[in-house]
Amino acid sequence: MKRTFKYLGISAATLLISLEAVSVDAHTQQSLKVNSTSNVELLAQIGAFPRRSFGDRRVFRVPIQGRSAGIPIVAVTLNGDRTFPMLVDTGASITTITPAMARAIGVRPQGKVKVTLAGGQTMEMSRGRISSIHVGDAQLNDFTVLIGEVPLLGQNFFSEYNVTVGRDFIVFRQRFR
């Protein structure tokens, strides 16, 4: 069975300039706050929002390892033992890993889904599940991923956070309901 959902890339329209007071230097305080929305109902239907384990921390900083076309890259640990660089794409609905990453951690495709890219193009991608994903101090278990060409950390990872992208760090603040 194929399912369709919006897969939105980072765009200039989703970025809002934000000056947030965080415990970092003044340059980092002048940051971009990424404001994006996702198709939450559809993501919930495919099980994309797993249970979260945060310990006592509600705010955490993750160092930016580098950038690709201005998009931050962070270290992400999958299944507890393999760490990979991934682009932080707050406009992406679902986290995507590459076929090589999937092989390295033993992810087997569990069907295909039809995705719509930011430019309106559609394509089919394989879907899989990983036992855990760690970014900084956040850990999510039994996590849905897509298997594609670009490793992206998407909304199903940080949908409950306000995300502030600075020069050297990304700050995640847990949203309260």
Domain boundary assignment for the chain: 4-174
127, 145 Cβ separation under 8 angstroms: yes
Q: Which residue is associated with the tokens 């995705």?
A: 115
The CATH label, of 3.40.50.300, 2.40.70.10, 2.120.10.30, 1.10.730.10, for the domain at 4-174 is 2.40.70.10
Using pLDDT thresholds of 50, 70 and 90, give the confidence band for residue 106: very high
Indicate yes or no: pTM above 0.75. no
- pLDDT number for residue 24: 30
In the numeric block, which tokens belong to residue 36? Answer: 């994006």
- pLDDT number for residue 79: 94
Using pLDDT thresholds of 50, 70 and 90, give the confidence band for residue 36: very low
Distances (CA, A) of 52 to 25, 107, 118, 133, 159: 29, 20, 28, 10, 11
In 3D, which of 93, 109, 113, 65 has the Cα closest to residue 155? 93
Calpha distance 154→94 (Å, rounded): 5
Calpha distance 95→73 (Å, rounded): 13
Using pLDDT thresholds of 50, 70 and 90, give the confidence band for residue 7: very low
